Amino acid sequence: MADYELSPASEDGPRGGTSRPVRVGLIVCLLVICIMAIVIGYLGYLVWAQRSSGPTDYVSGIVLGRCLSFTRIARPELRDKDCKKILDAFKSAFVSKDPCSITREDYQPLINLTADPVPCDKSLFWSRSKELVHEYTGIQKEMFTLEDTLLGYMGDGLTWCGDPRTSEIKHESCPHRNETCNSTATYVFWNVISQKFAESACGTVYVMLNGSRDTPFSKASTFGGVEIFNLRPEKVHTLQAWVMHNVEAVSRDTCSGSSIRELKSIVEQRKISFECYNDYRPARFIQCVKHSSHPTCRALL
């Protein structure tokens, strides 16, 4: 075999091996392939679930898929969570049970499997401002609403219940909460995880309220009835409220309004400091992306 003399690489080119841009491209391609494989796996599960067990596996498929995507993609530091066990614990809380008699204890095994602590000063509560608050945390990813935690993400927007006569999960014919049916599976779930979210909060916590409603703060809301009373004064030193007003709507209440004064009184009675800001500027910028021609937004920008 003849020997060949290799000329030295030029100063402008690679000095051997694969060039850095090519390596970066390969890494990106591998990441894309991995993400596609996970997504395809979720879709495959959903198809399998519906074909093998009928339409009642609709909720199971979504809950499992969300658990996997959250713990493998959105929050990979939680990859050690066993989503199959989490799904089983979720179903065991209400499957084959009276849909109006679910207890907090029914969800305790699920809670035990899904610890997802939020860093201090990063808990963001909300009431009647769901769309805006999640637009905000979608950009400011260091802040966490309940729906930005594992259990909140899994259950967001879903309804479910069981029936003593079957082991199937229902989602279309579940009873609504009323005087005779107060402990529905979905209602108890949100109360339990809302309480846990509040109990785990620390440092300064925040709440986004809707000042375009007559009462931005209401004791009938989850925040006013559950979360505010489960903040722990030994861990939380300040509650900061952001009273946001819809750009094209009438401002019905502000930080000086009656319902906010009631909130302030409750908070301070619990030995927590209270602060309030009308139209918190970073969130207002998000609103003005959709209404850039509005006079209040032109003045802001």
- Cα–Cα distance for residue pair 276/255, rounded to 1 Å: 6
Rg (CA), the chain: 25
**Antiparallel, parallel or unpaired: β 166-170 and 161-163:** antiparallel
- Cα–Cα distance for residue pair 133/206, rounded to 1 Å: 11
**Does 202 participate in catalysis according to the annotation?**
yes
CA 7-11-12 angle, 5° bins: 110
**Catalytic position from the list 67, 161, 174, 202:** 202
> Looking at the DSSP assignment, which residues form a beta bridge with residue 274?
239
**Does 120 participate in catalysis according to the annotation?**
yes
Point out the residues that are catalytic.
Answer: 120, 202
